[in-house]
Amino acid sequence: MVNNLVEVRDLVVDRGGRRVLHGLDLTIEQGSVTGLLGPSGCGKSTLMRSLVGVQQLTSGRVTIAGAEAGGKELRSRIGYVTQAASVYDDLTVRENLSFFGRVLGAASDAVAEAIATVDLADHADQVVGRLSGGQRSRASLAVALLNAPDLLVLDEPTVGLDPVLRRDLWALFHRLADDGAAVFVSSHVMDEAERCDRLLLMREGRIIADDTPAHIREKTQTDDIEGAFLALVDADSTEERDRP
């Protein structure tokens, strides 16, 4: 049975007088890793902000477990990682996590657990500002894991990470999904597509494909997602030309 945790209906968002999202419809299911792929600037972050409830919507609806996105009762059930590492540079990894843990009312052992999960135990008492970019973004990711959220919204969490770590993180996302969470991950790197259970391809504020990676390749008769993306864009512009 498919269990949709997130439902987006006809979502339109304008930012700075420009339409960024053009009436999106999509769902995100529990227990799976859904990837959101598209070039930078196509509206991925805006869509993610809309799910978390920090984006002003122009029209349309986003509901999570039946409640309006951003509602009070949802705030402790969503883990959100912004593109820039949203942690305090002048605190240690442990201090950051303890602080956010207290805000969330997380269990006391959640901090050590989250640090271990993102493999930062060796750096737990280092000030975040002195860590590498990849370590900082892992510290930021750890914050999102503190309260075992039902929905994880991760905006490009694997950018700039070493391949081994990237593989480990994707394994982690799948473990979280197996435990019942809905994991929604964005990336502008097409080769991460194969790691998702389901893919949303996005371009210029529209979803141009929504299926499993295998089905998308099959339908477009291509070998990889990058090829599929190009085929879809080409087909789209041919259609536009052929319109009277």
Decide: is 99 part of the binding site for other proteins (CB under 8 A): yes
- What number of other Cβ atoms are within 10 A of residue 117's Cβ? 18
91 binds other proteins (CB under 8 A): yes
Residue length of the chain: 244
Query: Does residue 95 touch other proteins according to CB under 8 A?
Result: yes
Closest CA to 29 of 177, 212, 194: 177
| Contact with other proteins (CB under 8 A) among 103, 107, 189, 214 | 103
| 153, 184 contact by CB (below 8 A) | yes
Exposed (0-12), middle (13-18) or buried (19+): which is 112, by Cβ within 10 Å?
middle
Ramachandran region, residue 238 (left: φ > 0; alpha: ψ -120 to 50; beta: rest): alpha
Residue 127 CB, shortest distance to other proteins, in Å, is 7
102 binds other proteins (CB under 8 A): yes
Kindly state whether residue 82 participates in binding other proteins, applying the rule CB under 8 A.
Answer: yes
Q: Which residues 43-62 are close enough to bind other proteins by CB under 8 A?
A: 52-57
In the three-class reduction of DSSP (H, G, I as helix; E, B as strand; rest coil), residue 206 is classed as: strand
| Residue 76 makes contact with other proteins by CB under 8 A | yes
Nearer Cβ to other proteins, position 80 or 173? 80
Structure-derived torsion over alpha carbons of residues 200, 226, 172, 139, reported in degrees to the nearest 10: -90
| Residues numbered 127-166 forming contacts with other proteins, rule: CB under 8 A | 127, 143
User: 206-211 and 198-203 as β-strands: parallel, antiparallel, unpaired?
Assistant: antiparallel
Q: Measured from the CB atom, is 44 or 217 closer to other proteins? A: 44
Report how far residue 74's alpha carbon sits from residue 68's, in angstroms, rounded to the nearest whole number.
9
173 binds other proteins (CB under 8 A): no
Task: Answer whether 82's CB lies under 8 Å from 140's CB.
Answer: yes
Q: Compute the least distance from the CB of residue 42 to other proteins, in Å.
A: 18
Q: Whose Cβ is closer to other proteins: residue 17's or residue 163's?
A: 17
Pick between residue 36 and residue 228 the one whose CB is nearest to other proteins.
36
Per CB under 8 A, does 87 bind other proteins? yes
User: In the window 206-235, what residues touch other proteins (CB under 8 A)?
Assistant: none
Nearest distance from C-beta of residue 96 to other proteins, angstroms: 9
How far apart (Å, rounded) are the C-alpha atoms in residues 52 and 11? 14
List residues binding other proteins (CB under 8 A).
15-16, 52-57, 70, 72, 75-76, 78, 80, 82, 84-91, 95, 99-100, 102-105, 127, 143
